[in-house]
Structure 1
Amino acid sequence: MTAVLPARLLNLPEHYDLAGTLSGLAVIRNDPTVRVTAREAWWVTRTPDGPGTLHFVRSGGTLTAEAFGAGAAWLLERADAIAGLRDDLSSFASVAGRHEVVRRLARTHQGWRMPASGLVFHHLLPAILGQKVTYQEAYRSYRAILRHFGEPAPGMPDMPVPPAAEAIAATPYYVLHPFGVEQRRADTLRRAADRAAALERAVDAADAVRRLVSLPGIGPWTAAEVVRASHGDPDAVSVGDYHLPNTVAWALAREARADDRRMLELLEPFRGHRGRVCRLLMAAGIGAPKYGPRFQIRSFARF
C-alpha cells in the first residue's frame, strides 16, 4: 500500500493529542469512517474529487499525513485543518478560567484541538440519523446505510467510504425504511442530499448554519453537530439535545435539571468557546442525577 502523492509533514504544538482531536470528526460514536489511536489515525471520506483516505502517523513533535484515492490531493491540502492545527486556542485559557471545572478540564485535555474537515454532508448524514432517537438506533441505521451504499476505502479496504449525496437523494424512502429510518428523517436526509452541493459552498460556519437550518427538518441541534466537525466551530452548541442542558447545569451550577435557555445562560461567559466547553464536559462523563423516563429503543423496520 503506497500513497500516490508525497507525504506531508506537520509540526505539532506541545501536548497535542491525536486521538482526542481526531475523534471530533465523528458526529456519532464509533463512526466506522474514523479510526484513531494515540499514534495513528485514519479518516475515510468522499471529497469533491472522489473517495479518499487520510492517514496520520505521529512521531514525537511531527505528524506525517499521507493520502490515498482520487481525493488524496484534496485531503493532503487540508490535512492540517483536519488534524485541528488551524484551531485557535489563544483566548481559551482566559475563558476557561472563569469556572473551576472548565479550567481543570481544559488543563487535563490541553492537547485537544477542533478538527475542521471542510465537508458538510459527510457529517450531516449521521447527524440527521441521530435526530430524536437513541444512540443505539442512530448507530444501527448509520452502519446499515454505510454497508448498503458504501464501498471499500482506498488504501484501507476494511473501512467504508460514505455514500455520495447524489445516491442518497435518488433513494426512495422504502429503501431506507428497513435500516430503521422512519419517513420524517428519511425525507430530511433526502432533501439535504439534494441540496448538498449548496451546503458544501458555505464560506464559514455561520454561513453553513444558515444554509442548514433553511432546510425543513434541520434545526439548531443538527446544524451545531455538523459545523463543529465540518468547520471546527468552537462555539457551536447543540441546542435541543436531550442530555446536554442537564450536563451543563450540573457541572457549572450543580442544578440537576435545566432547559436550553438556562444552558445558554450558563455558557454565556464562555462565548466563542461554548461548543468546546460542552465537549469537555461531555467527555469528562459529567452527568446530572438520573431520574425520570428514558428514550425507548424502537425498530422502525418492523412497522
Structure 2
Amino acid sequence: MWSSSPATPGALDSVSVVLESERPLDVGMSLSGLRRGPGDPTYQRDDAGSVWRASRLPSGLVTYRLTQTTRYSVRCTAWGDGGAEFTDMVPALLGCDDDASGFEPEHPTLKEAHRQFPHLRLGRTGLVMEALVPAILEQRVHGVSAFSSWRTLVTKFGDRAPGPTPRPMFVPPTPDVWRRIPSWEYHLANVDPARSKTIVRCAHVAGRLEQTTSMSYPDATRRLRAVPGVGIWTAAEAAQRALGDPDALSVGDYHLASVVGWSLLGRPLDDEGMIEYMKPLAPHRFRAVRLLQVSGKAIKPKFGPRTPLVDHTRH
C-alpha cells in the first residue's frame, strides 16, 4: 500500500513517498547486495541509517534515499530527472513482489534461519547493465580488486549524482560510454582485456539485455549467457540483483560451494556436489544462500594463506 507525502523540506526538486507494507520491511537487508565494496560511489549509508543510491533510469539520473521509519514502512526521497519513475520502482526494489511460497527447507540450519528471518525479501532493481558490469569486473579476481576497478571507472566515466548526497556520489556510465572507454583506461583500472571486452560486448547489446526484465528467469539467463564472456556465474549474479531471481545460484563462485558444504554438511563441496545437494531447494536456491548469509550461519574454515592479488596494470 502506498501513501504520498510532501517533498522533504529544503530538498529542492525532490519527490518523497512512503511505502507501507503488511509484511515487515528491512531496507538494509534488501539493498546490501547492491553495494560493491565499502567505497562504492553509487552507494552510501549515512549516520542515521538511511541508504543512498545513485542509478540511471530511462527517464534520467536519480539519487534516492531510503529511510526505515517503522518495521512496516519506508520513506523514499528521490532527486533528479528519474525521481518520479523511481518512486514506482520502490516496491519491487524492497522485495514486495518476492514470493517465498513453497520454500520449506528441511535442513535444521536453514529452517532456523528461515524462522529468524521470515521477512527476508529478494528485491529487484530492473537495471540489467547496472548489475552486469560489476559482476563482470568480479570475474576471477579478488573482491577488493574488482571493487577498486568499479570505483575508478564509475567515478571517472560516470555522472555526478543529483541531490544533496552525504558524500560525492556517481551514477554508472551509459552503455555507449562503457563501450567507448579506451582499452588503456580499463588497463589503468586493473581490468584485463578479457573482462573489458566482455563489458564492451554487453554494452553493444544493452537494449536486448535490458529486455530480460520482462522475460522468464530461464529465458533471461539464456539471453544473458548468449554474450561471449558472460557465464553461469556472471549471469546469476546479475539476475539476483536486476531480476530478483530466487533460484539464481552462483555456480563457479570461488567460495560458495565450500560455504554451502561446511554450513549444511560440515564438509566442503565442489560445484557439482553443491548443485546436486541443492536440487530439492529449487526454485529457491539463491534464497537459501541468502538466508545463510543474513543469519550469520554461513561458515567456512580458513586453511592456508590467502591467494595474492593480481595487478593487471603491470602487464
Q: TM over 0.5, yes or no?
A: yes
Is the Cα–Cα contact under 8 Å of residues 27 and 67 in structure 2 kept in the other structure? no
Q: What CA distance in whole angstroms lies between the structure 2 residues aligned with 1:237 and 1:293?
A: 27
Is the Cα–Cα contact under 8 Å of residues 3 and 66 in structure 1 kept in the other structure? no
1:225 is paired with a residue of what secondary structure? helix
1:101 is paired with a residue of what secondary structure? helix
**Identity, % of aligned positions:** 35
Does residue 91 (structure 1) correspond to residue 99 (structure 2)? The answer is no
Does residue 74 (structure 1) correspond to residue 82 (structure 2)? The answer is no
2:229 is paired with a residue of what secondary structure? coil
- Alignment counterpart, residue 277 of structure 1, candidates 279, 283, 288: 288
- Alignment counterpart, residue 300 of structure 2, candidates 264, 271, 288: 288
**Gaps (5+ residues) in structure 2?**
1-9
Aligned position for 1:62: 73
Aligned position for 2:157: 149
Deviations 1:75-125 (A, max 9, x none): 111111112211112333xx23x1111111222333321111011000111
The 5 A counterparts of 1:99-114 are 99-114=107-122
Q: What CA distance in whole angstroms lies between the structure 2 residues aligned with 1:208 and 1:50?
A: 25
Q: What CA distance in whole angstroms lies between the structure 2 residues aligned with 1:232 and 1:166?
A: 25
Aligned position for 1:137: 145
Aligned position for 2:33: 24
Once the two structures are overlaid, the 10-residue window that deviates more, 287-296 or 162-171, is: 287-296
1:85 is paired with a residue of what secondary structure? coil
TM-score of the two chains, using structure 2 as the length reference: 0.88
- Alignment counterpart, residue 123 of structure 2, candidates 115, 125, 135: 115
Does residue 241 (structure 1) correspond to residue 253 (structure 2)? The answer is yes
* TM superposition shift of 1:13: 3.9
Aligned position for 1:201: 211
* TM superposition shift of 1:234: 1.0
- Alignment counterpart, residue 260 of structure 1, candidates 265, 271, 279: 271
1:66 is paired with a residue of what secondary structure? strand
Does residue 9 (structure 1) correspond to residue 18 (structure 2)? The answer is yes
Deviations 1:225-271 (A, max 9, x none): 0011101111110011111001111111112x221111012212211
* TM superposition shift of 1:156: 3.9
Rate the CA distance shift 1:29–1:111 in 2: closer, same or farther, 3 A: farther
Aligned position for 2:3: none
Q: What CA distance in whole angstroms lies between the structure 1 residues aligned with 2:297 and 2:172?
A: 29
Aligned residues: 298
Aligned position for 2:176: 166
Is the Cα–Cα contact under 8 Å of residues 49 and 67 in structure 2 kept in the other structure? yes
Is the Cα–Cα contact under 8 Å of residues 116 and 228 in structure 1 kept in the other structure? yes
Aligned position for 2:194: 184
Deviations 1:2-48 (A, max 9, x none): 3646422211344422111111323x333332234785222211111
1:7 is paired with a residue of what secondary structure? strand
**Gaps (5+ residues) in structure 1?**
none
2:278 is paired with a residue of what secondary structure? helix
Rate the CA distance shift 1:5–1:148 in 2: closer, same or farther, 3 A: closer
Aligned-residue Cα RMSD (Å) equals 1.9
Once the two structures are overlaid, the 10-residue window that deviates more, 9-18 or 264-273, is: 9-18
Is the Cα–Cα contact under 8 Å of residues 263 and 297 in structure 2 kept in the other structure? no
1:265 is paired with a residue of what secondary structure? helix
